Structure 1
Amino acid sequence: MLKIDHLVKNYNTFSLDCSLEVLPGQITGLVGKNGAGKSTTFHAVLGLLRPDSGKITLLGKDSQEITAKDKQKLGVVLSDSGFSGNLTIQDIIPVLEKLYDDFNKDFFMKQVEIFGLPYKKKLKDFSTGMKAKLKVLIAISHQAKLLLLDEPTAGLDVVARNEVLDLIRDYMTEDEERAVLISSHISSDLESLCDDFYMLKDGKIIFHEETDVLLDQYVVLKVDEAQYEKLDKSFILKVQKENYGYACLTNENAFYIENYPQIIIEKAAIDEIVTMLSGGDEQC
C-alpha cells in the first residue's frame, strides 16, 4: 500500500531520513515525540513538500505517477488542514460529492447523526472532538483503500479518542485489503489498534516491531545498584536511572526470567517503551 525508502528532507535545524512500509490489511503506527518528523513524513507522502531524495511508492505506483483518480483512494487527516470554519456540514456535502466518485452520502449522514454532529452549525464552532470525528468520518466515507491519519486523536479526551479509534477499526473490518498509517505522540492510544509500530526520533526511524512481539517479549528489569553491576547487559536495549537503581528495557524476557529469578521483571507498555527508547541511555 505504501513504501517509503530513505525519504530525506533537510531543513536548517532538522533532517528527516525515513523508511517504512504499510502492508494491505494492516494498521501501522508511527510514533514519536512532537517534532520527531511525523507530519513531515505525511506531507511528503501526499506531495505537499518535495523531498531532497528517496522513493515513495503509493498504491503500487511511484508517488510522482499518482493521478487525481488514484488520490480518491486515499483517506487523509492532517492536523493542520480542513474545511473553512465558516462552512457547515450541510455546506460540505456537495463538495465531497464532487471530490469523490464513491462518496457514500447515506453512510456519512448516518454517522453524523450517531455522533451528534450539528448539521447546520459552523465548523469553527465545533468542539475539538467534533472536528476530529468529522475529519476521520470524511476520510472513511468514500471507499478509500489507504488511510493516512496524522495525529487524529490529538487534544481529545478519552471518550472522544475511543470513538475515533472505533471508526478506524470498523473501516478496517469491511475490507481486508485496506490499510492505515496513523501517527500519534500518545502511543498508548494505538496499542490495541495497530499491527506494528515504527518509532521516529529526531527525524530517524530507530525502531520497528510488531505489536504482538512488543507486548509479549519486551519487559523492564528493575534492579538496584548491586544487581545492575552483576547483570548480563548483552540484551539490554536502554537503561534509565531511577531512585531505586536502574530500569532496563529488553526484548529478551525469557533470558532474564531464566537467569535472574530474583530481580523484578515487569511487562512494558507501549508508552514506556517509547519513552525509554526516546530518552534512556544506551546499554552500558
Structure 2
Amino acid sequence: MLKIEHLKKNYNDFSLDCSLELHPGCITGLIGQNGTGKSTTFKATLGLISKDDGNIRLFGKDIEDISVKEKEQIGVVLSDSGFSEYLRIKDLVPILQNLYPEFDQSFFLEQVQRFQLPKEKRIKAFSTGMKAKLKVLIAISHKAKLLILDEPTAGLDVIARDELLDMLREYMEKDEERAILISSHISSDLETLCDDFYMIHDGKIVLHEDTDVLLSDYGLLKITDEQYQQIDKQYIMRTKKENFGYCCLTNQKQYYVENYPQIVVEKGTIDEVITMMVRGH
C-alpha cells in the first residue's frame, strides 16, 4: 500500500531519515514526541514538501507516477490544513462533489447528523471536537483506500477522541483492502486501534513492533543497584537510573519473570516504552 525507504529531508536544525511500510488491512501508528518528524514524513509522502532523497512507493508505484485518479483514493487530515472556516457544511457538499467523483453524499450527511454537526453554522463556530470530526469525515467520505492522518485526536476530550476512533474502526471494517497511517503523541489513544507501531525520535525510526507484541512482551524491570550488577542484560533495550536503583526496558518480559522471581517486573505501556526509548541509555 505504502512503502517509504530512507526518506530524507534536511533543515538547518533537523534531519529526517525515515523508513516504514503500510500493508492493506492494517492500521499503522507513527508515534513520538512533537517535533520528531511525524508531520515532515507525512508532508513529504504527500508531495507537499520536496524530499532530499529516498523512495516513496504508493499503490505499488513511485509517488511521482501516481495519477490524479489514484490520488483521489487518499484521504488526508493534516493539523494545519482544511477548508475555509467561513464555509458551512451545506457549502462543503457541492465542493466535495466536484473534488471527488466518488464522494458519497448520503453517507456524509448521515454521519453529519450522527455526530450532531450543525449544517448551518460556519466552521469557525465549531468546537475543536466538531472540527476534528468533520476533517476525518471528509477524508472517509470519498471511498479512499488509504487514510493519512496527522494528529487527528490532538486537543480533543476523551469522548470526542473515542467517537473519532470509532469512526476509523468502522471505516476499516467496510473494506479489508483499506489502510490507515495515523500519527499521534497521545499514544494511549492508539493502543486499541493500531496493528503495529513505528516510533520516531530525532527524525529516525527507533522502534517498529506489532501492537500485540509490544503490549504482551515488553516490560519494565524495577531493580536495585545490586540486582542490576547481577542480572542477565542480553534482553535489556534501555536503562535509566532512578532513586531506587534502575528501571530497565525489555522486550522479553517473561524471561525475567521466570528467571528472576525476586525482581519487580511491570507490564510496559506504549507511553512507558516511548519514555524509556527516548530517555533511557
The TM-score, its normalising length taken from structure 1, stands at: 0.97
SS of the equivalent of 1:40 reads helix
CA distance in 1, matches of 2:154, 2:264: 34
Q: Partner of 2:143: helix, strand, or coil?
A: coil
Q: How does 1:173-192 map to 2 (within 5 A)?
A: 173-192=173-192
Q: How does 1:96-111 map to 2 (within 5 A)?
A: 96-111=96-111
Q: Which of 146-155 and 254-263 deviates more?
A: 254-263
Counterpart of 1:118? 118
Displacement after TM superposition at 1:232 (Å): 1.5
Whether 2:279 is the aligned partner of 1:279: answer yes
Distance in 1 (alpha carbons) for counterparts of 2:158 and 2:275: 20
Residue 15 in 1 paired to residue 15 in 2?
Answer: yes
Shift of 1:90: 0.8
SS of match in other structure, 2:153: coil
Structure 1 residue matching 2:176: 3-state secondary structure = coil
In the TM superposition, what is the alpha-carbon distance from 1:243 to its structure 2 partner? 2.4
Q: Which residue of 1 aligns with 2:142?
A: 142
Cross-structure match for 2:69:
69
Q: Give the SS at the match of 2:30.
A: strand
Q: Using the alignment, how far apart are the partners of 1:145 and 1:45 within structure 2?
A: 16
> Which residue does the alignment assign to 1:166?
166
In structure 1, how many angstroms separate the alpha carbons of the residues matched to 2:247 and 2:279?
A: 12
Q: Aligned-residue CA RMSD in angstroms?
A: 0.8
| SS across alignment from 1:192 | coil
Distance between the aligned counterparts of 2:151 and 2:84, measured in 1?
19
Query: After the TM superposition, which segments of 4 or more aligned residues of structure 1 sit over 6 Å from their partners?
Result: none
Partner SS for 1:138: helix
Match of 2:250 in 1: 250
Residue type of the alignment partner of 2:26: Q
One-letter identity of the residue aligned with 2:262 = Q
> 1:191 is matched by which residue type in structure 2?
E
Secondary structure of the corresponding residue to residue 167 of structure 1: helix
Q: Which amino acid aligns with 1:129?
A: G
Distance in 1 (alpha carbons) for counterparts of 2:131 and 2:260: 50
CA deviation map 1:223-269 (0-9, x unaligned): 12221221111111111222222111001112211210110111101
SS of 1:50's equivalent? coil
1:44 matched to which residue of 2? 44
> What is the aligned partner in structure 2 of residue 211 from structure 1?
211
- 1:231 aligns with 231
Distance 1:258 1:17 in 2: 39
Q: Equivalent residue of 1:55, what SS?
A: strand
* Alignment match, 1:199: 199
State how many pairs are aligned: 281
Match of 2:203, as an amino acid? G
In 1: Cα distance, 2:170 partner to 2:59 partner: 21
Q: Distance in 2 between matches of 1:246 and 1:137?
A: 46
Segment of structure 1 superposing worse, 249-258 or 80-89:
249-258
Alpha-carbon distance, 1:167 to partner: 0.5
CA deviation vs aligned residue, 1:77-135 (integer Å, no higher than 9, x gap): 00010000111101111000011111111111011011110101111111110000000
CA distance in 1, matches of 2:160, 2:241: 35
Whole-angstrom CA distance in 1 between matches of 2:86 and 2:161: 25
CA distances 1:49-90 after superposition (whole Å, capped 9, x unpaired): 110010100112110011211111001000010000111101
Amino acid at match of 1:124: K
In structure 2, runs of 5+ residues without a counterpart are none
1:92 corresponds in structure 2 to 92
The 1-side partners of 2:91 and 2:63 are apart by 31
Q: Which consecutive unaligned segments of at least 5 residues does structure 1 have?
A: none
**2:232 maps to amino acid:** D
SS of the equivalent of 1:221 reads: strand
Q: Distance in 2 between matches of 1:166 and 1:121?
A: 25
Residue 274 of structure 1: SS of its match in structure 2?
helix
Q: State the distance in 2 between where 1:148 and 1:169 align.
A: 14
